[in-house]
């Protein structure tokens, strides 16, 4: 019956210059023809603990491969880790690439989003503080909400340990980056990959001021929220105003650059 109906509809549509095409059940990885089975499995695991889209996560895989090719010195840094999905991705890929000498630094409040500033609006011009206050008034569980994004340091470490073979190179630094990054003992000596995902103006500003100078030559900076949170974009634009840099697009919101 379905075949007869399809033939009928196809014959009718042809009269008007159209033809029917069967919708394919595409998988997310169909967009990445070069992806390996190991990378596919890694991204599927990491996605359970991350809000980062597959396009952005696969970029991190490619970035780590480039870091090995170019022999870029320095550790891996993520500011704003939520449940640790990208930390898991980092570890599994550096295990595969035999880059296990690299440490992974994870900076987060581990208690959810801190207070935004007046500059923090989304692309729809909605104020971040009003969004957060509305969710809190409704009694939304911050552990389950993607905006409030609360996950304890203990749970992040647990997620990491459950999904990696070796896990003694993860360094978690708890607190607001505006404070923790001002303490020298909390910092890596050099950075090869720097991923910023704390959304707000003040935190992004501090991260760039403190951590970008530690990024090695040809190291990679990833800014997750450039296209969505205006405060993040403002901090980035201000910091690089007098510097000759090019930001490249990963997807609608994320951008990256190579440090020259």
Contacts of range 126-130, beta carbons closer than 8 Å, 24 or more positions apart: 128/199, 128/200, 128/229, 128/231
The per-residue pLDDT string of the chain (260 residues; one tens digit each, 9 = 90 and over) reads: 556 665 655 666 665 566 655 544 578 888 899 999 999 999 999 999 999 999 999 999 999 999 999 999 999 999 999 999 999 999 999 999 999 899 999 999 999 888 999 999 999 999 999 998 888 888 877 777 767 788 999 999 999 999 998 878 999 999 999 999 999 999 999 999 999 999 999 999 999 999 999 999 999 999 999 999 999 999 999 999 999 899 999 999 999 999 99
Q: In this structure, what token pair is assigned to residue 153?
A: 């340091």
Among 108, 125, 127, 107, residue whose Cα is nearest residue 117: 127
Q: Where are the domains of the chain?
A: 42-258
Q: Strand 215-223 to strand 255-258: parallel, antiparallel, or no bridges (unpaired)? A: antiparallel
Question: Alpha-carbon distance 109 to 114, whole Å?
Answer: 8
Q: In this structure, what token pair is assigned to residue 30?
A: 């169909």
Tokens 């033809």 correspond to what residue? 19
CB–CB of 230/84 below 8 Å? no
Architecture, CATH, for domain 42-258: 3-Layer(aba) Sandwich (3.40)
Query: Taking the model in full, what pTM does it have?
Result: 0.88
Question: Alpha-carbon distance 248 to 62, whole Å?
Answer: 14
């Amino acid at each position: 019956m379905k075949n007869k109906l399809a033939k009928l509809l196809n014959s009718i549509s042809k009269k008007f210059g159209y033809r029917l095409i069967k919708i394919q059940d595409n998988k997310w990885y169909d967009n990445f023809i070069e992806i390996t089975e190991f990378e596919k499995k890694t991204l599927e695991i990491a996605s359970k603990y991350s809000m980062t889209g597959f396009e952005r996560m696969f970029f991190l895989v490619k970035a780590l491969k480039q870091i090995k090719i170019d022999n870029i010195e320095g550790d891996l840094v993520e500011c704003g880790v939520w449940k640790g999905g990208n930390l898991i991705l980092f570890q599994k890929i550096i295990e595969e690439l035999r880059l296990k000498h690299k440490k992974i630094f994870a900076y987060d409040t581990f208690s959810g989003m801190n207070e935004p500033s007046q500059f923090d609006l989304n692309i729809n011009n909605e104020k971040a503080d009003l969004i957060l206050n509305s969710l809190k008034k409704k009694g939304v569980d911050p552990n389950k909400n993607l905006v409030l994004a609360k996950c304890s340091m203990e749970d992040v470490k647990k997620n990491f340990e459950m999904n990696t073979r070796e896990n003694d190179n993860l360094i978690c630094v708890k607190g607001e980056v505006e404070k923790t990054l001002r303490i020298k003992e909390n910092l890596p000596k050099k950075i090869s990959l720097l991923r910023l995902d704390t959304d707000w103006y003040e935190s992004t500003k501090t991260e760039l001021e403190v951590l970008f100078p530690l990024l090695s030559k040809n190291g990679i900076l990833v800014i997750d929220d450039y296209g969505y949170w205006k405060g993040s974009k403002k901090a980035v634009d201000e910091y690089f105003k007098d510097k000759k840099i090019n930001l490249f697009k990963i997807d609608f919101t994320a951008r990256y650059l190579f440090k020259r």
